[in-house]
Amino acid sequence: MSMAMACIPTIDLSAFTEGDSDGNKKTIVDKVGQACSEYGFFQIINHGIPLSLMRQALDMSKTFFDYPLEEKLKSSPIPGSPLAAGFNIREKHLTGKEYLVTTSPSSSFNVYPANPPGYRDLLIEMFTNMVKLSSTMAGIISECLGLPPDFLEEFNNDRSWDVLTSLSYPAATDDNGGNIGVAAHKDVSCFTFVYQDQSGGLEVKLDGKWVPILPATEDALVVNVGDMLQVLSNDKFMSPWHRVVKLKGRARNSFVFFYNLAGDKFIEPLPQFTKEVGVAPKYTSFLNKEYLQLRSKTKLDLTAEGEQKIIDVTHYAINTT
């Protein structure tokens, strides 16, 4: 058993998704809280999203990404759109990654592919299911932090900033450092769901080492803490460094859902974790939209070693030394 499989827990959510005793729910809350504080990563099963839907969505995404580039470019983002919803290709660092971004089905900025037939409906169904699950997870995480179950949902009830991304990574071509699908980074979200195929490729940095996170089961979703939760909790929960590596002889496909806070939201450590308990805040207040723009601008820069420069939320950390 790999280090990641051994230490990153897989948590059964059936008590929340199928109805169960409060005792079982308390056990789940405790397990999620421990995972968030120790690793920032865990997997969930029996989460309520049908495996048949996830399989079909992933298969149809593979079909879409196999189309000629000319066909995929028909779904390019609307010029001037504040969100790059639609088909994108990452050529800046020659990773070969392609991805399709969708947001709330009510948004006029979505650019859904016309082909394959039925793909649009599947993307909308996946988004809707992810939003429903995120509400459940927001309640669990709120309880983990000692907050009312509806705290996160009421703190930010604007779901128009949530994003569902379908991704395709080509197989690795060499062993000389050119096989990074996504450079090491932390998510800007509150938390993130990942549905990945059985190929693997997702890695998390634990104790200074990169370890793989392989799907616990075919229907398992990976959950990770994002920057916003780190700030709100005043570092009680930490946003972990993670990356995607391309695999020899195997392409990789996945869906990623980002449970985001609204762009016009000012973010700072909650008083429940600062002044109410006599602890100094570790971050200054900042506008979420400004942080998102900063990340977007800097993630395309390169270091002297040829790696991506990734600004993270410690940009707003208060220096107490």
Q: Is the pLDDT of residue 93 over 60?
A: no
**How much is the pLDDT for 81?**
83
Q: Is the pLDDT of residue 120 over 90?
A: yes
Q: Contact at 8 Å (CB) between 229 and 283?
A: no
67: left (phi over 0), alpha (psi -120 to 50) or beta: beta
Q: Is the pLDDT of residue 35 over 60?
A: yes
Neighbours of 155 (CB within 10 A): 16
243: left (phi over 0), alpha (psi -120 to 50) or beta: beta
pLDDT category at 302 given cuts 50, 70, 90 is very low
Q: Is the pLDDT of residue 91 over 70?
A: no
- Read off the pLDDT of residues 132-166 as tens digits, 9 standing for 90 and up: 999 999 999 999 999 999 999 999 999 999 999 99
What the block records as the tokens of 79 is 């010029």
pLDDT category at 88 given cuts 50, 70, 90 is very high
pLDDT category at 59 given cuts 50, 70, 90 is very high
SS3 256: strand
pTM score of the predicted model:
0.93
**Residues near 53 by Cβ (< 8 Å), separated by ≥ 6?**
122, 125, 126, 129
What the block records as the tokens of 134 is 């995120």
CA dihedral 69, 74, 76, 81 (to 10 degrees): 170
Question: Could you tell me the domains of the chain?
Answer: 3-262 (2.60.120.330)
- Read off the pLDDT of residues 285-295 as tens digits, 9 standing for 90 and up: 999 999 999 88
- Read off the pLDDT of residues 170-229 as tens digits, 9 standing for 90 and up: 888 765 545 788 888 999 999 999 999 988 899 999 999 999 999 999 999 999 999 999
Q: Contact at 8 Å (CB) between 9 and 45?
A: no
Q: Contact at 8 Å (CB) between 163 and 84?
A: no
Burial class (CB in 10 A: 0-12, 13-18, 19+), 6: exposed
Report how far residue 187's alpha carbon sits from residue 13's, in angstroms, rounded to the nearest whole number.
23
- The rounded mean pLDDT for the chain is 90
Burial class (CB in 10 A: 0-12, 13-18, 19+), 52: exposed
Q: Contact at 8 Å (CB) between 222 and 81?
A: no
